[in-house]
Structure 1
Amino acid sequence: MKKIIVALILLLLILSPRIYWQIKEERVLDIVVIDKSVAKKDYREHKGFFHILDSKKIIRADGEFYDLGRDYYGFDPYDQVAMTPFRARLADLIYVADTYGVFSDDLKKSPEGERSELIYGGMELLEWNELMASRDENTTLIAEFNSFASPTSDEVSGIMQKSLGVNWSGWVGRHFTDLSSDEVPQWLIDSYQQQTGDDWILAGAGLAFVHTSGQVVVLDGQQTKSAARFKLTTMGEKKFPKVNASSYIYWFDVVEPVGETKVYATYEFDLTEKGRSVLHDAGIPEKFPAVLHQESKNTYYFAGDYADFDMQPLVKWQGVHNFYKYFAKDVSAFYWLTYFPMMEAILEETVERKDGEPSEG
């Protein structure tokens, strides 16, 4: 009998996070998600955000959970057509996850990574105006890379940057674990070879920057020693006390704050003297903002592809990220250590503004 009781107690302890999640209160938020880069049926460009909505039991006004395959505006990977465009309505939170779009190469069974014809993508002025018309003083607006870069027009990009309180330098970049692997897109290799006249014989970890002018800067293992390091500023530590520093290995853009925009986190790189010289000659800073916030306008800009997450974790367990973060590596480490707790805090903040009182999360 004692063994049975002990077993039941252990089972209850193991299942308690799931039980707690099941009985905890659901919270309603009207959320608008824009993702124009859904070429495949994995929805990875906004998948990470929807996992957090499930974990926090954030639901739609009709009482249903948000469906990552339905509750967004962008491209339909099944019919391979643009979905019905968003039309203005008052929202609690707007998340522009990606507007890069879908290209003909993306629709191939095995994409080659080459530049190809744009099928659908870019932010249109009418769409942006519809989003801006959906806000009041309590609406949270979040945008992340790529929201206003190519193929969005320069005019619309400038308007978006002004609304978000940032200024884009024209540079984007990414860390690659192996410069000789297939993860390096063919268009990047072609641009490098055309610019330098050299063959692409690079191997090992490295860092690549690409400018809107076409200029390419590549740092190999002799010039950079690690991926970008996401690090909170002093203001960021106060704003997000549960967010941890981590390595970030996806695409990012090089931006700077405008006016009263606050910088809550930065990217830093472990560069050799030669690496510093290469960046300096190209006009690329060694350290630049990762998370920016306009407090008066309630906007956030993430200078990276943060919601992009291609895993299917168990999220309907209370405090699940506290478990995953101890075992996370590489891309998942950034998600569990950094992005997940940061979005938890922003969602709680949004709920509080909507309800007019602190939420119990």
Structure 2
Amino acid sequence: MKKPLLITIIILVLVLALPFINFLRWSFQEKMPIEIVILDKTVPTLERINHKSLIWVLNNGRFVKKEKKNSYSFRKDYYGFAPTRPLKDRGNTENEYHLSEMLDLPEKADAVYFADTYGVFFNDWYAGVNKSRRSRKIYGGLNNTDYLLVNEMKNRNKLIILEYNSFDYPTPAFESFRTQEKLGITFSGWSGKYFEKLDSTAKNFPVWMTAMYRKEYKKPWTFTKPGIVLLSEKSIIVMEEGTHLTNGLPFIITDEANCEKYGVPESVAFNKWFDIIDPLQSNVISRFHFETTAIGDTLLSGKMLMKDFPAVIQEPSSQRIYYFSGDFASNQVNFCASRIKGFDKLKGILYSDKPDDTRRFFWLYYKPLLNKILTDYYTSLNELK
């Protein structure tokens, strides 16, 4: 056999063998049984993107269900809205916990994670409808039973994680208020998102924002560059790169102590929805940061806002309640790869060194953060036995 051909065969064997070897390493990794109630009401497609990466982290870290010690399924192991096949028929089920379960479920569960409570709306669910315009709700919003679950879990000193938009529309004001009170934080009423193009003609750009802007400022929407839009019930702020921002992307910043504790980098770019929270007396693990100009600072201060605000908040007493002030669990991931140990080390393929690479958020921030929170909690549960 010719030497070049032999070398090629050896390389191919190694390339094919490495995933299998790392699958075996993952298979023999110690399982950590933990019962997690996952809630996702925003599931307009079979992809289930708003909790899929959460389940990816659970499976990759070998967090398994208690009863049969098997892995979590992103298709089945959650409460909320569930589309059914074929999707073109627009069939769905609503897998919900009920008031009658509010003693047994919190007793059985070790943790609760509200991945997304926003819900499914008419223009998300039905094909051919203009997705850039607002529409009526089909299903969603944090409700009384959700609040009671949080309350009962807190009373039992169990792990609670909530994410962005647990407090804003379509959650009723009363449920929003008392859930904030239970978590020890306050929602400012403002939320926002980065847009790669603020051009209103861009595909799926939410054109209702332009109408809101014209109504408030009495002038046309002329923004086209990257930037951030901040929204409250009756007000809008548009911050464009070059005028209000030196960099259109928000960044999540973590101090040295928390970088070391959670294994996260000092800074990662973030391009999804977020809300602005007052942490009150809570611990702030990470914060959002806008790279503003003087004009941008003036624009924010005019609405009593700042360029830095909490991204991850921890209740200071039990340290078992967290609020993620962004759409953290919504990430595109290859689910099969969750069963390959060390898959996240494929730097250059999964993400780059570029500070503006938003793929870094999942691999370098969300995954290690969540893994550390769950591992520490699992360890503490076993220490009590």
- Which stretch shifts more, 74-83 or 50-59? 74-83
- Which stretch shifts more, 232-241 or 139-148? 232-241
Which amino acid in 2 is paired with 1:107?
W
What is the CA–CA distance in structure 2 between the aligned matches of 1:131 and 1:138, rounded to whole Å?
10
Assess, with a 3 A threshold, how the Cα gap between structure 1 residues 242 and 284 changes in structure 2: closer, same or farther: closer
1:104 aligned onto 2:126:
no
Partner of 2:299: 278
Which amino acid in 1 is paired with 2:346?
F
Quote the offset at 1:319 in angstroms. 2.3
**1:302-340 Cα distance to aligned partner (Å, 9 max, x none):** 100000012325221212222247741633211111111
What is the CA–CA distance in structure 1 between the aligned matches of 2:303 and 2:135, rounded to whole Å?
27
Quote the offset at 1:228 in angstroms. 0.8
**1:133-184 Cα distance to aligned partner (Å, 9 max, x none):** 2456552100010112111112111111122221111110111111112253
Partner of 2:53: 48
- Which stretch shifts more, 76-85 or 113-122? 76-85
Count of aligned pairs: 356
Partner of 2:270: 248
Q: How do 1:151-230 and structure 2 match up within 5 A?
A: 151-180=170-199, 181-212=202-233, 214-221=234-241, 222-226=243-247, 227-230=249-252
What is the CA–CA distance in structure 1 between the aligned matches of 2:307 and 2:286, rounded to whole Å?
14
What is the CA–CA distance in structure 2 between the aligned matches of 1:150 and 1:196, rounded to whole Å?
23
Q: Please tell me whether the aligned partners of residues 116 and 163 of structure 2 are also in contact (alpha carbons under 8 angstroms).
A: yes
- Which stretch shifts more, 25-34 or 177-186? 177-186
Partner of 2:365: 338
1:30 aligned onto 2:51:
no
Quote the offset at 1:126 in angstroms. 2.7
Quote the offset at 1:104 in angstroms. 0.9
Q: Please tell me whether the aligned partners of residues 42 and 310 of structure 1 are also in contact (alpha carbons under 8 angstroms).
A: no
Which amino acid in 2 is paired with 1:267?
F
- Which stretch shifts more, 85-94 or 96-105? 85-94
Equivalent of 2:381 in 349, 354, 358: 354
Unaligned 5+ runs, structure 1: none
What is the CA–CA distance in structure 2 between the aligned matches of 1:10 and 1:252, rounded to whole Å?
40
- Relative to the length of structure 1, the TM-score reads 0.90
Partner of 1:82: 94
Equivalent of 1:303 in 320, 325, 330: 325
**1:216-235 Cα distance to aligned partner (Å, 9 max, x none):** 00011221122111111345
Which amino acid in 2 is paired with 1:119?
I
What is the CA–CA distance in structure 1 between the aligned matches of 2:267 and 2:348, rounded to whole Å?
12
Assess, with a 3 A threshold, how the Cα gap between structure 1 residues 17 and 154 changes in structure 2: closer, same or farther: same
Quote the offset at 1:255 in angstroms. 0.8
Quote the offset at 1:23 in angstroms. 1.3
Assess, with a 3 A threshold, how the Cα gap between structure 1 residues 134 and 264 changes in structure 2: closer, same or farther: closer
What is the CA–CA distance in structure 2 between the aligned matches of 1:12 and 1:38, rounded to whole Å?
36
Q: Please tell me whether the aligned partners of residues 144 and 301 of structure 1 are also in contact (alpha carbons under 8 angstroms).
A: yes
- Which stretch shifts more, 88-97 or 104-113? 104-113
1:147 aligned onto 2:152:
no
Q: Please tell me whether the aligned partners of residues 92 and 138 of structure 1 are also in contact (alpha carbons under 8 angstroms).
A: no
Instruction: Give secondary structure in 1 for the equivalent of 2:302.
Output: helix
Which amino acid in 1 is paired with 2:22?
P
- Relative to the length of structure 2, the TM-score reads 0.85
- Which stretch shifts more, 321-330 or 87-96? 321-330
Quote the offset at 1:57 in angstroms. 1.5
Unaligned 5+ runs, structure 2: 85-90
Which amino acid in 2 is paired with 1:202?
F
Q: Please tell me whether the aligned partners of residues 114 and 187 of structure 1 are also in contact (alpha carbons under 8 angstroms).
A: yes
Partner of 2:87: none
Equivalent of 1:18 in 20, 23, 32: 23
Q: Please tell me whether the aligned partners of residues 40 and 81 of structure 2 are also in contact (alpha carbons under 8 angstroms).
A: yes
**1:86-113 Cα distance to aligned partner (Å, 9 max, x none):** 5331211110111111111111224422
Partner of 1:322: 345
